Every structure is written in C-alpha cells, then in structure tokens.
Amino acid sequence: MCDQCSSPNPSNRLRFSRRHLLGASAALATASTAPFQAALAQPATPQNAISPDDALKRIMDGNARYTTNTSANQDYSVGRAARAAAQHPIAAILSCADSRVAPELAFDQAPGDLFVVRLAGNFVNDDGLASLEYAVKILNVPLIMVLGHSNCGAVDAAIKVLNDGATLPGHLQQLVRDIKPAVAAAQKDKPTNLLAASITQNIRNGVRRLETAKPILADFVQAKKIKVVGAQYDLATGKIALV
C-alpha cells in the first residue's frame, strides 16, 4: 500500500483520489475522441476524385520536375499517419521491373499517390490485370499507364528467342512468350531499330488489352471513367514520353 493511501490525514487521501480521477477522465476523453480525430485527418474529398486528364497532367508535371532535379517530394514521412487509414492513388502504373525505373521517383509522387504493378517487360498477364482491376474498381483510380523504357532487356530477350532461336533458362521462356507478339508485329514494318520499335509495340499491345479487358476495365473505359495510356521512360534522360 502506498504512503498516500495509508496516510492518516483524510485530505491527503482526497487529493490522491482526485488526482487519479482527473487523470483517468482525461485518458477516457482522449480515447473517445480518437476515432473522430482520425476521421478529421482524412480529406473530405479524396485526392483521386479527379478526371483522367487531370491525373495524367499531375504525373507528367511531376516527371518534368524530376528531370530538372526539382522534385517536390523529399520528406516521405509526411502524411504517413493518414495513409495508414486509407489509400487514394491518382494513377495505376504497369511498369517494367527494371531496377533503373522507379515510378514514384520518375513521376515525383509521394507514397500513396501511385498504385504500381511491376514485372519484367511490362506486359499484361492475368495477375497484373487483376491488380489493375482492383485499383480501378475498389480504389477508384482514374488513370492507368503502361510504362515501358528504353533498352528493355525483356523485350531484347524476346527478339533473340524469336529471331535467333535462343533458349532461355527457367521460367524466362514463359516471360518472353507474352512479349513475342509485339516483336513479330514490329518487325513487319522492317524498322531500322527493331528493339525500339518492339518496345513501343509492346506498350501499345498492353494499352489495347487493358482497354478491352472484360468485365471491369472495358466498361470503365467506355463510360470514360478511366483512361488507359502508354508511355516510355528514357533511361539516359529520365524523361517520360507518351506513346
């Protein structure tokens, strides 16, 4: 038993009880208002309640800042508490897994701004499609971008398999299987740079598949609720150009 509790002086016990009562009341008040404070921290209108064109402009403006080394996003702890409660990305990016391509950096966007799906060759497979459907249907993303890049190794491998009969180890053969149609289509025009032409065609194939993907994306595209665009990242300059 503490000295205050066992004190023969009633006034000491009264002060002790009152002090603990006030402390408990304050703790209860804080706990009861916590949910309301969390709700107030969330914006009344989510940041992705914008048009597809506005979303595209926002990320392309971000790339302009990135290429001039004037990126606005430098403190990635900002908004961390609010992001723990919900996410409202303004765009979904289907990107190559190449380590030199970092969509959040290249578009100068903060955590929570982009919903990124990455795999070598940035082609559309069923898993990636499901992830993008989630971004559109559940997260209300207004824009999808298929983002390829210069000198893509996955596309180059597909060229070697298709034209040179190369055999790749492990599951790489399955990886390039979905890229080979782009190579075959590109080489019909006899381009001077087959790799560059195949990279562009691969991006366009991805855009076309997403625009027509049933049962979710095609309906959103037709209703003009989302836009699907293609773009290419230049490894040397960091610039992103629409395809």
Quick: pLDDT tens for 1-25: 555 555 555 555 445 455 555 554 5
Element (H, E) at 181: helix 180-187
Encoded tokens for 143: 């824009």
Structural contact between residues 156 and 130, judged by C-beta atoms closer than 8 angstroms? no
Q: Which residues pair with residue 216 across a beta bridge?
A: none
**Cβ neighbours of residue 71 closer than 8 Å, sequence gap 6 or more:** 62, 65, 105, 108
Return the closest-CA partner of residue 212 out of 102, 127, 124, 139. 124
pLDDT in tens, 126-147: 999 999 999 999 999 999 999 9
* Topology given in CATH for the domain delimited by 52-242: Beta-carbonic Anhydrase; Chain A (3.40.1050)
Checking phi first, is residue 87 left (phi over 0); if not, alpha (psi -120 to 50) or beta?
A: beta
pLDDT in tens, 181-217: 999 999 999 999 999 999 999 999 999 999 999 999 9
Query: Which has the closest alpha carbon to 172: 183, 164, 180?
Result: 180
Hey, how many other C-beta atoms are within 10 angstroms of the C-beta on 190?
A: 8
